[in-house]
Structure 1
Amino acid sequence: MLQFDKPFATIEIEPEKSLLILTWHGFANSDEYREANTVAIQISRQYNLTKWLNNMKEMKAIRQADQEWSVNEWLPLFKSLHIQKWALVIADDMFNQMAMSSMMSKIRPQLTHPVEYFQDLNSARTWIERA
């Protein structure tokens, strides 16, 4: 069920699987990046979703200011959700990979649920749909 559809990102939910899928399309400027991540939190809360799948395969670099926003502003909201599993499909873009690595080194120690990284969407879906 499509919840958010913009040129830079789409958010779909599969309520029967308690799953949110955030798919990035190329580069997102600061406003776009923050909007998609904020809407994803709101949708998760609204539907009480417990699984997240971030598909960053096509995503480009994330600005430093947005990395800091993710850790300082977004993370406390994310932690307030009841997430049980989080799958991340790694971007092909090297600059995105470096940004995610830096952010996740700060985010991951604060999380209590499993977080796994995948090269492709199918592998991520298989893992996240397992009980």
Structure 2
Amino acid sequence: MNTAISNYPVFEDETHIIQIEKEHSLLCLTWKQHPDSTLYRAGYRHAIQAALAYKVQFWLTDSRKVPYLIMADQRWMYSKMRPLLKGGKIKKMALVLQPESLMMTDKYPYLDQLDKNTKTNHSLHFDFFLDLDSAYAWLLDAN
């Protein structure tokens, strides 16, 4: 990620930091260490609150320090993010993972839960990356 751009810290504890990059309407959630299930969910709750408060359009999660997530936490995260993505509050979301973590990730369970009869004019833009620069470029690409 372009570290020359100033990030505004919103929240930080021993497991994660949440920053807002106002210039690009971007929330950055960075995991500093592997959280247990309770801390993982609390971190996402903090980040969702910040995303809504700052009305960000883009979301970047750096999970390279999280070697694995249990399936229940993966599905929980998707269920909490789906309304933000589907409702158009967040235009794009990128998750940066280690290659080993990416292989163990259930990639798109939120698509399974969408009501196929529901028409929406907002498409879901969610993807996985192995490095911050690629994720950052994809998030801010106008296309």
TM-score, structure 2 length as denominator? 0.75
In structure 2, what is the equivalent of residue 66 of structure 1?
73
Q: Mind listing any 5+ residue stretches in structure 1 that lack a counterpart?
A: none
Taking a change above 3 Å as real, the CA distance of residues 86 and 71 of structure 1, as seen in their structure-2 partners, is closer
Alpha carbons 1:26, 1:60 under 8 Å: kept:
no
Alpha carbons 1:2, 1:12 under 8 Å: kept:
yes
Q: Give the residue type in structure 1 aligned to 2:109.
A: K
What is the aligned-residue RMSD (CA, Å)? 2.2
Measured against aligned partners, the alpha-carbon deviations of 1:2-54 in whole angstroms (never above 9, x if no partner) come to 11112211111112211001111231011110011011110010011110111
Taking a change above 3 Å as real, the CA distance of residues 81 and 43 of structure 1, as seen in their structure-2 partners, is farther
Measured against aligned partners, the alpha-carbon deviations of 1:83-127 in whole angstroms (never above 9, x if no partner) come to 1111221224x2x32443x1x321246482322322211121122
In structure 2, what is the equivalent of residue 85 of structure 1?
92
Q: Mind listing any 5+ residue stretches in structure 2 that lack a counterpart?
A: 1-7, 115-121
Runs of 4+ in 1 over 4 A off after TM superposition: 108-111
Alpha-carbon distance between aligned partners in 1 of 2:21 and 2:53, rounded to the nearest angstrom: 13
TM-score, structure 1 length as denominator? 0.81
Max Rg structure:
2
The structure in which a higher percent of residues are helix is 1
Number of residue equivalences: 126
The structure in which a higher percent of residues are strand is 1
In structure 1, what is the equivalent of residue 119 of structure 2?
none
Alpha carbons 1:8, 1:24 under 8 Å: kept:
yes
Task: Select between 117-126 and 50-59 the one with higher mean Cα deviation.
Answer: 117-126
Aligned ranges 1:1-131 → 2 under 5 Å: 1-72=8-79, 74-79=80-85, 80=87, 82-92=89-99, 94=100, 96-100=101-105, 102=106, 104-108=107-111, 110=114, 112-131=123-142
Task: Select between 48-57 and 113-122 the one with higher mean Cα deviation.
Answer: 113-122
Percentage of matched positions with identical amino acids? 29
